[in-house]
Structure 1
Amino acid sequence: MHCFTSIQIHRHILNWQSLLGLTALASLVPVAQAQDTRNVREPVMPATCTVLLAEPSTPSRNDAPRIQAAMDKCTAGQAVHLAPGSGNTSFTSGPLKLRSGVTLVVDAGTILYTSTNPLLFDRGAKTCGTNDATGKGCQPFITVEGVNGTGIMGEGVIDGQGGQLIDGKNETWWQIARRAQKEKQRQNVPRLIQLDKVQDFTMHRITLRNSPNFHVAMNRVDGFTAWGIRIDTPHDARNTDGIDPGASRNVTIAYSHIRTGDDNVAIKAGSSGPSENISILHNHFYSGHGMSIGSETNGGVRNVLVEDLVMDGTTSGLRIKSNDRRGGIVSGVVYRDVCLRDIRWPLYINTQYEPGPAGDLIPSYTDIRMERVHSLTPGQVILQGYDEQRPLHLALKDVVVDGNPVVKLEFAKLTGQLNAPDAQAVNCTERFVPFRQS
């Protein structure tokens, strides 16, 4: 549905400021073959179907009906633009649903706010904005289900208002989530974008911020591209994962900046099936819980390439996490050209994540490779298989953790050595850059 230019920019000839301009140097120097089986290229904006102009803000405002009507009338292959108008720059909306072939564009200088009215997101039981045993009382802000060839683009912002008071309550979405943690309940709060049974979905240059819960959650998606996007949510906002590919295949996340309150990216594979053929290329992560696989891996995770990743201040770095209640086979994972700094657990591979009653879904991590990985600060390294019969199989080449890291090895069969005497540490001097505010 979308046109593209090649994802062929080698990290050695780029600086990050030019990447944010995307990408005059495309196709000059090829990178190693990514694991996504598609020929992924930089997205290009579809033709415009209609432009909606921002209107003056009013109490209880809900722009959802006019945005939805415009998308429903738009011809496949075109886009609905949200744009500033007469000095007004914002829209506020309840839930929206994307249609096949129709792209939503938030133009530069425009903010699309999620409404703080929980009744707009309620699934019928009037539990949205409360805590209970299930946490399933809210619709997502943007639902993408059973469609193909659609996306969200633009230089503007989608703001979930997770830190704003919920209408009629004295708590924010984030405060409800934190209270649920203390009370051992689940929060009924909306996800920002939810994809289910989707093909060919594209995100380009959009900024997502302040989601009440996950920013982008995927289930059974085939063909997902996020290129040059920013995700920006405070480090203490609970369960605000950046992008979570679940039971999905042919996924590329490239040239993006992500800082958030939970996993920056988390590849999951539960009962809906495996996650496979995933490329995480040329990204910067800031606050968050790192580049994660798991904790649900019982569906199987395979064929993942993480290349040219810079993580600065995440709690974990390269992380695979599961346990014997949700474990499965994780294989064919390559981490290459990674720089890390100020991270508590720069390398964290754990089969005993969130201990609990014994189960029979055993984690198995095989054919995991780390090449040219450099942490400039020590932290703790955990490399742990499940038992002697199901050890971690990990190959290391030029993997260096500076200082005197605390290293925990358990049921791990290593090829190569951490901090080997002949290791060639990646030069990370020029690769750490500040997060650029939207």
Structure 2
Amino acid sequence: MNLKGYCVVTLLAGVLCNTTMQAQPLPKVKQVSFRKDTFNITRYGAKPDGVTLNTQAINGAIDACSKKGGGVVVVPGGFWLTGPIVLKNNVNLHLQANALVQFTKDFSQYPLVKGNWEGLDQMRNQSPLSADNQQNIAITGAGIIDGGGDAWRQVKKDKLTDTQWKKLVASGGVVSEDNRIWYPSEQNQKASKMKNPGEITADKTPEFYQSIKDFLRPNLLVFTNCKTILLEGVTFQNSPAWNLHPLMCQDLTLRNVYVKNPWYAQNGDGIDLESCKNVLIEGSTFDVGDDGICIKSGRDEAGRKRGMPTENVIVRNCAVYHAHGGFVIGSEMSGGARNIYVSDCSFIGTDIGLRFKTTRGRGGVVENIYCSNIVMKDIPGEAILFDMYYAAQDPVPLAGEKRDAPKVQLLPVTEATPVFRGFYIKDVVCDGASKAIFIRGLPEMNISDIYLSNLVLKAEKGIDIQEAKNINMKGVQLIADKTTPLISINNGNKINLANITYNKADVLVNVSGANAGGITITGTDTNKAAKKLELGEGVAANVINIQ
């Protein structure tokens, strides 16, 4: 994808060129460079027998390598049991083929440390893989890194077969009173009923954190304030919480990795880029329990105070299988996100394809997001979703689960009001979704400036637009089952629909809401619809112009 030097508005929306909205050249990402010196972990006493705890040996090799100016720490083929590994300056931790690094399920090997969880300062168990304030570091090769996550995570009964559930319960742990959730321990269950138990506050003692230690699941990999990073070729799997979590990092390349979690893995995200700058993610595969490729920048006041957006990100040639969202921004995006380019990606069976989510209280500005050449198949939820009412729930309700629509009310605009604007999405094909496009803003802060073009979307339902302005769609083909209406617009303003094609429509467009206006439909065969237009109570006919 080459976005340099053309007018995004002209190409994507078919309107007059506005040079102030040109895409910037793709960001440059600095690459790692290592000395050729090698340090084999067996020289430091490591044994691949699956019994010996190799924590000291592996970290010893890393320390020696870094102190001598850097190089490659080699993990040969074999089964390497270990506790937490800490990466150091100028070290490439290289896993040879058939190397399995298995992190121990002995929680006592993970000391409690100050960390960050969902954008808030928290006490956590030390991550299996970590680095703080390091430069020129890498994890490469053809091996597998397993975080032992099954020992840490809660599991919902509805996400398992009966046989899997019975086997899990028989393994130990604790089951909730309603028999719907399995907990690894009583300590875990106890803490799960508290609000933000791991959050660092003045009233909490070391003894308190120790009493809920089992609950404070670590992310598999956390790199904090690091520069010039490469993750390449390795499989990262079975994380206790998030899988890969670069935090406030710069110049990160993620290439040809496989990120894997069970689909029932609670908080089992693939990669969460948080407040990072200059990132390339390419040629990688994600099959996880939560969001696949996710952009974050802190939560609520803490994220706004940090004030570090995730910016200058390229995502290309990636595949996402099970995930709550294929490519995702939010919901913890309080520091903002901008200048993000996603292209040539496949989403197969993800709950939602392109997922942009936030909620009141977050604040933050998300803008200048470019997506192109996306293919999707078998999406249980929405193909493309913008939602400013995120409620921290799975995107697709489980069997029998009922959800009420959020209460719509106008509130004052404050620094805690989030902003979504400037999204440019083109060349998307989706074969199967529950809804093609869903756009839902806030009454006090509409989602704005969205440009969608050249989309072919096969879905149960068509397009739903709420509390949005300056929404432009051109060349959208809808193949929908439920078409009453095909396109719904509630309190939409400056909605421009051009060259929309469709297989059928009982009602083509339904317009409602006191603030609806400036809606235009051009180049569209309205005669195919049984009924062109349906207006809500109190909506005047002149709010829409069908040409």
Structure 1 and Structure 2 fold alike (TM over 0.5): yes
- Distance across 1 between alignment mates of 2:319 and 2:59: 33
Q: How does 1:24-423 map to 2 (within 5 A)?
A: 35-38=26-29, 47-53=36-42, 55-57=47-49, 59=51, 61-74=52-65, 75-84=68-77, 89-123=78-112, 136-164=123-151, 170-171=172-173, 175-176=183-184, 183=193, 187-270=215-298, 271=303, 272=306, 273-290=308-325, 291-343=327-379, 344-354=381-391, 360-380=415-435, 381-387=437-443, 389-412=445-468, 413-417=470-474, 418-419=476-477, 422=499
CA distance in 2, matches of 1:422, 1:165: 51
In the alignment, the residues of structure 1 paired with residue 25 and residue 258 of structure 2 have an alpha-carbon distance, to the nearest angstrom, of 22
Deviations 1:357-383 (A, max 9, x none): 988511211110111011111312311
Is the 8 Å Cα contact of residues 29 and 280 (structure 2) preserved in structure 1?
Answer: no
1:408 to partner: Cα distance: 2.0
The two structures have a TM-score, normalised by structure 1, of 0.79
Unaligned runs of 5+ in 1: 1-6, 9-31, 126-132, 426-438
- Superposed CA deviations along residues 219-272 of structure 1, whole A, max 9, x for unmatched, are 110110000000111111011111111111001110001110011111001223
Of 108-117 and 388-397, deviating more is 388-397
Q: Which has the larger radius of gyration?
A: 2
Partner secondary structure for residue 433 of structure 2: coil
Residue type of the alignment partner of 1:419? Q
CA deviation profile, 1:51-96 (whole Å, cap 9, x unmatched) = 224625365x320101111111113341101103xxxx11111111
Distance in 1 between the 2:447 and 2:279 partners? Answer: 28
Amino acid of the structure 1 residue aligned with 2:138:
G
Please, what is the CA RMSD of the aligned residues?
Answer: 3.2
Distance 1:119 1:300 in 2: 37
SS at match of 2:383: strand
2:29–2:253 CA contact under 8 A, matched in 1: no
* Preserved CA contact (<8 Å) 1:34 1:305: no
Q: For 1:191 and 1:124, how far apart are their aligned partners in 2?
A: 12
Q: Which amino acid aligns with 1:78?
A: G
Q: Judge conservation of contact 1:284–1:311 (CA < 8 Å) in 2.
A: yes
Task: Deviation per CA, 1:3-25: give whole Å up to 9, x if none.
Answer: xxxx99xxxxxxxxxxxxxxxxx
Cα shift at 1:199: 0.3
Q: Structure 1 pair 371/423, CA: closer, same or farther in 2 (3 Å)?
A: farther
1:23 alignment counterpart: none
Matches of 1:180 and 1:282, distance apart in 2: 43
Deviates more, 1:110-119 or 1:413-422: 413-422
Structure with the bigger percentage of helix:
2
List per-residue Cα deviations over 1:308-353 (Å, max 9, x = no partner). Answer: 0100011111011111111311000001000011112211111111
Aligned partners of 1:331, 1:95: CA distance in 2, in Å? 37
What secondary structure sits across from 1:237 in the alignment? coil
Q: Which residue type is aligned with residue 110 of structure 1?
A: A
SS at match of 1:189: coil
Query: Residues 367 and 420 of structure 2 are in contact (CA less than 8 Å); yes or no, is this contact kept in structure 1?
Result: yes
Does the residue aligned with 1:194 lie in a helix, a strand or coil? Answer: strand
Q: Deviations over 1:286-316 (max 9, x none)?
A: 0011211011222110000010010001111
- Alignment CA distance shift 1:395-1:198 (3 Å): same
Separation in structure 2 between the aligned mates of residue 262 and residue 415 of structure 1, nearest angstrom: 30
Cα pair distance change 1:95/1:292, threshold 3 Å: same
Runs of 4 or more consecutive aligned structure 1 residues displaced over 6 Å after TM superposition = 355-359
Alpha-carbon contact 2:270-2:290 (below 8 Å) kept: yes
CA drift of 1:218 comes to: 1.7
> Deviation digits for residues 162-183 of structure 1, max 9, x if unmatched?
12589xx9349x9449958974
Percent identical among aligned pairs is 23
Secondary structure, in 3 states, of the residue corresponding to 1:387?
Answer: coil
CA distance in 2, matches of 1:308, 1:422: 24
* Residues 159 and 171 of structure 1, relative CA distance in 2, 3 Å threshold: farther
Letter in 2 for 1:215: N
Of 411-420 and 298-307, more deviation after overlay is shown by 411-420
- Aligned length, in residue pairs: 379
CA shift in 2, pair 1:58/1:341, >3 Å: closer
Stretches of structure 2 lacking an aligned partner (at least 5 in a row): 3-22, 115-119, 154-170, 175-181, 198-214, 392-405, 479-497, 503-547
Structure 1, 151-160 or 360-369: larger mean CA deviation: 360-369
| DSSP-derived class of the 2:338 partner | strand
Rounded to whole Å, the distance in 2 between the matches of 1:352 and 1:176 is 32
State whether residues 34 and 70 of structure 2, in contact with CA within 8 Å, keep that contact through their aligned partners in structure 1: no
* Range moving further from structure 2, 316-325 or 385-394: 385-394
Query: Aligned equivalents of 1:196 and 1:403: distance in 2?
Result: 41
**Is this contact kept in 2: 1:105–1:153, CA < 8 A?**
yes
Per the TM alignment, residue 124 of structure 1 is displaced from its structure 2 partner at its CA by 7.4
CA deviation after TM superposition for structure 1 residue 50, in Å = 1.3
The whole-number CA distance in structure 1 between the counterparts of 2:351 and 2:221 is: 24
**Counterpart-to-counterpart distance in 2, 1:401 and 1:182:** 40
Kindly state the Cα deviation for residue 406 of structure 1 after the two structures are TM-superposed. Answer: 4.2
Q: Given that residues 429 and 455 in structure 2 are in contact (C-alpha distance below 8 angstroms), is that contact kept between their aligned partners in structure 1?
A: yes
